[in-house]
Amino acid sequence: MNIQNGFVRVAAATPRVRVANPAFNAGETIALARKADRAGVQVVVFPELNLTGYTCADLFQQQVLQRGALDALAQLCADTRDCAALIVVGLPLAVDAQLFNCAAVVQAGAVLGIVPKTYIPGYKEYYEPRWFAPGPRLSAPVMDVNGVEVPCGTDLLFCAAECPALQLGIEICEDLWVPQPPSTAQALAGATVLLNLSASNELVAKAAYRRALVQQQSARCFAAYVLASAGVHESTTDMVFSGHALIAENGNVLAENERFARAAHLTIADVDVEYLLHERRVANSFSQAIGEGDHACRQIAFNCKQPRWQWPVQRSVPRQPFVPQDPAARAERCHEIFAIQTAGLAKRLEHCGFKQAVVGVSGGLDSTLALLVGVDAFDQLGLPRAQMHAVTMPGYGTSARTYANVQTLCAALGVTLHDISITAACDQHFRDIGHDPQCHDIVFENTQARERTQVLMNLANKLGALQIGTGDLSELALGWCTYNGDHMSMYGVNCGVPKTLVQYLVRWVAETHVAEAARAVLLDILATPISPELLPAGADGAIAQKTEETVGPYELHDFFLYHAIRGGAPPRKVLLLARQAFGDGYDEQTMRHWLRVFYTRFFANQFKRSCVPDGPKVGSVSLSPRADWRMPSDASAATWLAELAEKE
């Protein structure tokens, strides 16, 4: 793919206009188009009828204005011959006895095609049928534009010769607001980037509705959507325009301008067409929709050579893609996830007739979250909290801090605490299998994990209770769990929650769901290093084993998980995105090392994911074989690791 690892730089332009002055508007359009080209923009879209102004009204019927628009288009072509960017502008075009509201697609001084507006609004403040005919009435496949025959029609797609993944569909303003936008058919015909030349006036709350339309259409079409709307220099006789510009990708707004600006400006973002194609291939309902109708379009080739811009991409690449950066959005996300976890557990308890539950609590984040979910489920079902059985099982590596936190938290929550040491049982097991307990190897560690699971399962059987699992999504991805140990439970409430999000969930519960005594201990648990506590504690009783020193930083692994599995990105692209997201946080060698660890562990541990317990999917990534992820346990990581080893 002859673009930057699947990224294409697009822009929505907001030029200054003078109503009914095509010569002035041509100059402004040319200046902004050349500015976009210098910025490495590969596709730039201007507002509806920008070469004349949208608010010309009956002046559209004047031949002088119509000729002026054609002259402006000719000037644009002449002055952008050396520009690599594809430029999409709006103008009125007369064909025989009809006038059409059109988009003209220009590159390297040539008009590649003309797309007329399909739906012509004639309600409320809109009077377009007074001047313009609907696009489908333009029946001829070509039209004369300044003496050159040019393809025209609502069935045109513009396809990058060097990049099959980049195909452009074009619609104009009202086309987006109807029940079946033309861009839907364009997407089904292959368009990955949808462009809208708009002149949507401003009303109270209309911007939010417009934004929602753009987001929803980009999501439904698994596409990028670029909208450029007319600005404040349009006539204000009856309406005011804001120059609203939006760029969305698969439901997410990548870039949005400040409305009502008086200066000309560009809103730029890099959209990922590789990712969009991945999403379409994963969602087989998209391909089903392709087969349910005639979406044939004429393909017009354009050049999309290696862009002039260099990495990094012009878009936000969050360090924690599973965690919203906005505090309000993050709180809402935590509320929703906690509700899903609680609802899942409550249903399982109710269905099986369990009145009691058992959960192992270590003083770490995962088991704390599982306990909090269990308590909330019991409250919703009207069951006494005393019938929630928390079990702490101190072993060779249990620290004084985590042990004390378990005691305090269980007392504050009013649950029943069982304190069962596993050291004697493990000592006996070592004798049974002839293992030296001073050899702190995988046998030493896994014996403890399996003994704890045996205690929990058998105690649950004794009490007639459901045993709640605590393992999270990140641990499943890395296989950082003991097979048939902490890997197993009767219901895993955390299986869809990545490690980077667990801490925010616990903090959210601390701030919203519990009394002060529980809040204080939850905050201390949040400040405790992540550890399985399987190796002997230090002489001072402090934690000696820190997970991230062994398996790697969870913020990196969750980042890799999101982009490699959720986004389908290849290793080289994942690494490039990580460089941008983490900046100086990690050097190149460190990130490359942990990415190798991620792929190696992810492939090697599929056998654990193939038999995980039931548990709720809460986000866009699930590794359950019954939900999103099916993978052979014997698959090789060699191809992925080979790409990662290649020199750039």
CATH code at position 56: 3.60.110.10
- One domain, residues 202 and 331: no
How do residues 76-102 score in pLDDT, each as one tens digit? 999 999 999 999 999 999 999 999 999
Give a yes or no: residue 545 inside a domain.
yes
Annotated active-site residue 499? The verdict is no
The 3-state secondary structure of 51-96, one letter per residue: CCCHHHHHHHHCHHHHHHHHHHHHHHHHHCCCCCCEEEEEEEEEEC
Same-domain status, 334 and 269: no
Q: Please confirm, yes or no, whether 173 is among the known catalytic residues.
A: yes
Give the end of a domain, one of 237, 267, 302: 302
319 inside domain: no
Whether residue 486 is found in the same domain as residue 575: yes
Contact 559, 578 (CB under 8 A): yes
526-580, pLDDT tens digit by residue? 998 877 666 786 666 666 667 778 889 999 999 999 999 999 999 999 999 999 9
CATH assignment of the domain containing 527? 3.40.50.620
Query: Would the CA dihedral through 95, 101, 103, 104 be positive or negative?
Result: positive
Report the pLDDT value the prediction gives residue 2, as an integer from 0 to 100: 47
Known active-site residue 48 = yes
Q: Please indicate, yes or no, whether residues 195 and 267 belong to a single structural domain of this protein.
A: yes
Model's pTM, two decimal places?
0.92
Task: Judge whether 369 lies within some domain.
Answer: yes
**Amino acid sitting at position 99:** L
What is the end-to-end Cα distance of the chain in Å, rounded?
15
Enclosing domain of residue 295: 7-302
In this structure, the answer to whether residues 297 and 216 fall within a common structural domain is yes
Please say which residue of 285, 302, 319 terminates a domain: 302
Q: What is the DSSP letter of 562?
A: I
Task: Identify the pLDDT of residue 584.
Answer: 84
pLDDT beneath 50: ranges in the chain: 1-2
Whole-angstrom distance, CA of residue 506 vs CA of residue 347: 22
Identify whether residues 221 and 267 lie together within a single domain: yes
Same structural domain for residues 391 and 528? yes
Rounded CA separation 165/190 (Å): 8
Does a structural domain hold residue 310?
A: no
Of these residues, 163, 173, 221, 481, which one is catalytic? 173
The number of folded domains in the chain is 2
Nearest to 267 by CA among 46, 29, 16: 46
Task: Tell whether 308 is covered by a domain.
Answer: no
Cβ burial 426-450 (10 Å sphere, 16+ → b, else e): beebbeeeeeeeeeeeeebbbbbbb
Amino acid 308: pLDDT: 64
Which tokens sit at 340? 């899903």
Residue 322 located in a structural domain: no
Query: Domain check: are 281 and 354 in the same one?
Result: no
Catalytic residue among 28, 48, 174, 475: 48
Same domain membership, residue 623 and residue 501: yes
Residue 312 located in a structural domain: no
In a domain, 316, yes or no: no
DSSP state of 333: H
**237 vs 60: CA distance, rounded Å:** 16
Contact between 491 and 564 under an 8 Å Cβ cutoff? The reply is no
Query: Based on the domain organization, do 294 and 347 belong to the same domain?
Result: no
- Taking residue 17's Cβ as centre, other Cβ atoms within 10 Å add up to 30
Q: Are strands 43-45 and 86-95 parallel, antiparallel or unpaired?
A: parallel
Options 77, 102, 117, 475, the catalytic residue: 117
Rounded Cα distance between 12 and 261, Å, is: 14
Measured CA distances, 415 to 84, 376, 385, 470 (Å): 67, 12, 5, 17
Query: Are 288 and 359 found together in one domain?
Result: no
Residues 246, 251, 252, 254, CA torsion sign = negative
Stated as kind and residue range, the H or E segment containing 357 is strand 357-360
Instruction: Write the pLDDT tens digit of every residue in 205-240.
Output: 999 999 999 999 999 999 999 999 999 999 999 999
Instruction: Give residue 263's pLDDT.
Output: 97
Tell whether 296 and 379 lie within a shared domain: no
Determine the 3-state secondary structure of 534 from DSSP: coil
